[in-house]
C-alpha cells in the first residue's frame, strides 16, 4: 500500500486553502440599500441653503435627491447648473421640470431665457416666454425675457395688455 508523502499533502492543503481564499473573493455582489434619513422636501431645503451659501455643487447634489419626488427641484437644479455654465445639463433639467410642471411660469421663462442666451430654438423660446407672460403677466422679468427674444428674432410683436 502506498502512503502519501508529507510534502505532497502540504502542497494539496496549500492548494485547497488558496482555492478557498480565491473563491471567497468571488462572492456574489450584494446591493445594500440604506434608507435616506431626509425627506425629499428636506433635501430641497438643504439644496436651497447650499445655494444661498454659494455652494452650487452641494446644492445640485441635494436638488438631484429631491427631484425624484419634488418636481420643482428640477427647476432649482436647472438654475444652479445654468449658473455653473453647464447649459446642456440645465436645459435637460428645465425640460424635465416642464414635463412635470407644464403650467409653471418660472420653468417656462427660465427655459426660454436659456434658449435665448444660446441663440438656439428661438421660435420655441418665444412660445415658452409668451406662455410664461400669459400665466403671470405682471412678472417684469418674464416680460423682459419675451421682449429680448422678440428683439433678437426681429418679430417685434407687441405684448398684449
Work out the average pLDDT over 43-50: 96
Domains identified in the chain and CATH numbers: 38-102 (1.25.40.10), 103-161 (no CATH)
Question: Cell 500500500 sits at which residue?
Answer: 1
Is the CB of residue 74 less than 8 Å from the CB of residue 97?
yes
pLDDT score of 21: 59
What 8-state DSSP symbol labels residue 53? T
pLDDT band of 160, cuts 50, 70, 90: low
Nearest alpha carbon to residue 127 among 102, 97, 100: 102
Q: Taking the CA of residue 64 as centre, how many other CA atoms within 13 Å lie in the half-sphere pointing to its CB?
A: 10
Q: Which residues contact 47 (CB under 8 A, 6 or more apart)?
A: 58, 59, 60, 61, 62, 63, 66, 73, 76, 77, 80
Cell representation of residue 123: 421660435
pLDDT band of 15, cuts 50, 70, 90: confident
Q: 14-23, 50-59, 86-95: which has the minimum mean pLDDT?
A: 14-23
- Quote the pTM value: 0.74
Amino acid at each position: 500500500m502506498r502512503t502519501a508523502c508529507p510534502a505532497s499533502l502540504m502542497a494539496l492543503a496549500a492548494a485547497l486553502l488558496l482555492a478557498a481564499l480565491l473563491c471567497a473573493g468571488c462572492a456574489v455582489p450584494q446591493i445594500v440599500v440604506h434608507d435616506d434619513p431626509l425627506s425629499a422636501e428636506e433635501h430641497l431645503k438643504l439644496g436651497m441653503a447650499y445655494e444661498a451659501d454659494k455652494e452650487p455643487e452641494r446644492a445640485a447634489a441635494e436638488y438631484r435627491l429631491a427631484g425624484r419626488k419634488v418636481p420643482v427641484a428640477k427647476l432649482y437644479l436647472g438654475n444652479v447648473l445654468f449658473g455653473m455654465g453647464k447649459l446642456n445639463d440645465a436645459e435637460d433639467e428645465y425640460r424635465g421640470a416642464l414635463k412635470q410642471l407644464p403650467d409653471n411660469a418660472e420653468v417656462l421663462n427660465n427655459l426660454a431665457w436659456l434658449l435665448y442666451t444660446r441663440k438656439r430654438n428661438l421660435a420655441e423660446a418665444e412660445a415658452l416666454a409668451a406662455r410664461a407672460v400669459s400665466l403671470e403677466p405682471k412678472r417684469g422679468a418674464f416680460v423682459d425675457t419675451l421682449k429680448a427674444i422678440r428683439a433678437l428674432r426681429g418679430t417685434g410683436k407687441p405684448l398684449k395688455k
